[in-house]
Amino acid sequence: MSRVQNAVIGSVRTVVGWLPERWLPGGSPDPLIGRHGEVGRQLGHLDGPLKVTGAARFAAEVPLEQLCHAALVHSPVARGRIATLDTRAAEAAPGVVLVLTHRTMPRLEPVPLISITNMTAVGNSALPILQDPEIRYNGQVVALVLAETPQQADFAASLIDISYDEAPARTRFEAAKPQARTPASILVERNEEAVGDAEAALRQSAFQVDAIYTTPGHNHAAIEPHAVTAAWTGDRLVLHDATQAIAPTAAALAKLFDIRREDVRVLSPFVGGGFGAKGFWDHHVLAVAAARLVRRPVRLVLSREAVFRMVGGRSPTEQRVALAAEAGGRFTALIHTGYSVMPPYGACPEQYTLGSRALYRAQNVRFGQKHLDLDVVPNTYMRAPGEAVGSFALESAVDELAHQMSMDPIELRLRNDPEVHPLSGIPFSQRALAEAYRQGAEAFGWAARNATPRTRREGEWLLGMGCATGSFPYVRMPAGAVRIRLTRDGRASVACSAQDMGMGTATVQSQHAADRLGLPLAAVSFEMGDSDLPPAPMAGGSGQTVSIVAAVAAAATKLTGELLRLAGNASPLAGLRAGEVRLQEGGLVSLADPARRDSFDAILSRAGREDITVTESAAAPLEMFKYAMQSQSANFCDLRVSAVTGEIRITRLLGVFDVGTILNPRTAASQLRGGMIMGLGMALSEEVLFDERSGRIMNAGLADYHIPAHLDIPEIDVRWTGIPDPRSPLGARGIGEIAITGVAAAIANAVFNATGTRLRDLPLTLDKLLEEEGA
């Protein structure tokens, strides 16, 4: 499939490359770009009052009659088989309604895996769920207990007596390397790429860096644990879910439980953080199956430990980056290769080399990734999959090379800033990394940095500054529809099954719809979070906003046509076609002669209509193939390191983002700061501790997996170039993920500047620093 995919994608690029721009989405810039309206205004989250009063209801908070509560039992071994299983004590415990094991679980097909080509497929794991006595990873669910109360369920789960015949498991990263797989493609890109002879160029160049960078597993650690409340009425299912993928989840459940798609309703109006974790996992299937068996609503809330054990995180990586330059700074070789874990039953490669392919021009390059098969819960996408850890390796190496060459690291980067995509030769739609660095260096006071490490000191504290580039591709999902209902009083409701994990989806889409439909913000509402609405794509790839914007724009065009048709010959606009008018100030206005206008009220009144409703899908995202569309950022860090303890404290962070139009500066700044904070956690403290002997995660809790706390967080300044992308809807490119990229490298580079010690293994903890310095 991968090789076929490479051929298909290659053909699409070729064909789209030949097509004239005007035939493509993005061929002529979105007319709303640069127009001053609701888009671009500071607007707080519209759901703020619900969230600060506790009135926002999350998936585990829907009251239902006859509700029963589930508890899970997990395997403590990585491979083997259930030898003995005794559920009698659990079944006899007070309040128990059902004990579900592989003996009693209905037989179900595997869940179709999430894919680029099938937008309704959503599974993260192809492993069977309670279908047999086999154990395939440590933490796998082996039993579910339903009881009248959560306390009764938890207690009964502790009474299930299981013994295992253990089998050898593949749990060691290093040992798996000889059997590593080399996939043909990584997402939509060909995996292995080479131009020239990078190894030879590396050997022959005046300056070179060749190093291994390692990053541990990471956990999304959204504060809301995964939860579902499932209720069947006959063969109809309602699922209250915490999900980033409402419509795909509904489709997957319909297929799995063999019911009609329209008989499944997934509701997810609020999601307590996602970051990639809130996809489709075993708990969906378990809760829905259990609820059907007992004919009662079931609530399943994962324990925090279960979130670590049965929902995958970001894979650990071991990356080689080799970089060489001639004396003038031009890169002669760039090699980025490595290993990450991706079991064959998973679906989400950690694409850590993809960012490097777009970021620099080098005469000779080589890229390629290898997958390690381990017996673990399948890893999944986590905020900026690939780029978050890939940028740590690449941007550390660039800093190392700059130091070796005694060149300013910003200067070295800009000397290798490409004019066109370095591999494909396709032009960038918009790219202003140099401008981001110019703004950032000035705002941050980069000139005050002393390029010689370990030269600035205050008492026990060594001071340092570092910078690094971040990047993330533009993604618009190849699916998605919206419905617009316009009423005679000039109000519109826009609806689709969109998700909000805290980004402000409804807020920004309301702003957009107001501008697109020519209505004041107060006249627009945005409905979402419900699979009964027209299907939106999943929230991922930082692509939800532009995907929905494109669908709303398409629906608005359709609405314009329908209104013109209704307006008829009595209209001042009679004779005009859809392309000759626009939606403005509560009506249609002639583009050529703004005096010719007809209000929505007048049009609908003459037609004897109260309202008009249209549903439309966005055009295929061909702009992604015609142009190289990539966001970039310049990250700066100022920190201090204790010369006594090695403790690293960040003083300030600055990110300057070149991400196209910023739709709402308030929500955007908040989201960008949030991404940088997650990058700070990745740099300094976050690490899934994996016991390679047992295949078990040792720190499966928020007390032991250390995400940044308030006192860890310094002053954070975020800015943007604000240059619209002429090829994307509204000129926007998505901001959910880029802010985490480059942050860890900026911090590691600042640690080097402060101490003269180069750490290439995340997280950057004081023990590693002291050990390196002692060495």
Residue 712 CB, nearest approach to other proteins (Å) = 8
Residue 338 CB, nearest approach to other proteins (Å) = 27
Which residue do the tokens 């439309």 mark?
616
Residue 666 CB, nearest approach to other proteins (Å) = 6
How many angstroms separate the CA atoms of 288 and 249, rounded?
A: 12
* Residue in 737, 771, 772, 773 annotated catalytic: 737
How many angstroms separate the CA atoms of 375 and 444, rounded?
A: 46
Residue 762 CB, nearest approach to other proteins (Å) = 18
Sheet holding 236-241, edge to edge: 96-100, 141-147, 68-74, 298-301, 227-233, 236-241, 264-267
The number of beta carbons lying within 10 Å of the beta carbon of residue 20 is 7
Sheet holding 481-487, edge to edge: 524-527, 492-495, 481-487, 611-617
- 368 membership: H or E segment, kind and range: strand 364-372
- Judged by beta carbon, residue 272 or residue 338, the one nearer other proteins is 272
Nearest C-alpha neighbor of 476 from the set 661, 273, 618? 618
- Judged by beta carbon, residue 663 or residue 707, the one nearer other proteins is 707
Residue 605 CB, nearest approach to other proteins (Å) = 38
Residue 668 CB, nearest approach to other proteins (Å) = 10
The DSSP annotation for 576-609 comes to: --GGGEEEETTEEEESS-TT-EEEHHHHHHHTT-
- Judged by beta carbon, residue 43 or residue 656, the one nearer other proteins is 43
Q: Which residues in this chain contact other proteins in the complex, by CB under 8 A?
A: 44-45, 47-58, 60-61, 63, 149-152, 155, 220-225, 270-275, 301, 303-304, 501-504, 666-667, 669-671, 673-678, 701-703, 707-713, 715-716
Nearest C-alpha neighbor of 382 from the set 480, 311, 453? 311
Residue 471 CB, nearest approach to other proteins (Å) = 20
Nearest C-alpha neighbor of 472 from the set 628, 312, 361, 334? 628
- Judged by beta carbon, residue 592 or residue 703, the one nearer other proteins is 703
- Judged by beta carbon, residue 121 or residue 684, the one nearer other proteins is 684
How many angstroms separate the CA atoms of 436 and 687, rounded?
A: 31
Residue 279 CB, nearest approach to other proteins (Å) = 16
**Alpha carbons within 13 A on the beta-carbon side of 76:** 4
- Judged by beta carbon, residue 368 or residue 665, the one nearer other proteins is 665
- Judged by beta carbon, residue 306 or residue 322, the one nearer other proteins is 306
Calculate Rg over the CA atoms of the chain.
27
* Residue 184: both structure tokens together: 């043909």
Sheet holding 597-599, edge to edge: 581-584, 587-590, 597-599
- Judged by beta carbon, residue 155 or residue 437, the one nearer other proteins is 155
**Alpha carbons within 13 A on the beta-carbon side of 638:** 21
Nearest C-alpha neighbor of 173 from the set 321, 371, 387? 371
Q: Can 737 be counted among the known catalytic residues?
A: yes
| Residues 575-608: b if buried by 16+ CB within 10 A, e if exposed | ebebebbbbbebbbbbeeeeebbbebebbbeebe
The DSSP annotation for 396-444 comes to: HHHHHHHHHHT--HHHHHHHT--SB-TTT-PBBS---HHHHHHHHHHHH
User: What φ, ψ does residue 439 adopt, rounded to 5°?
Assistant: -60, -45
> Where do the H-state alpha helices sit in 242-386?
246-256, 282-294, 304-310, 354-359
Residue 652 CB, nearest approach to other proteins (Å) = 12
- Judged by beta carbon, residue 271 or residue 365, the one nearer other proteins is 271
Q: Cβ(745)–Cβ(391) under 8 Å?
A: yes
Residue 51 CB, nearest approach to other proteins (Å) = 3
Nearest C-alpha neighbor of 467 from the set 302, 656, 335? 656
Active site residues: 737
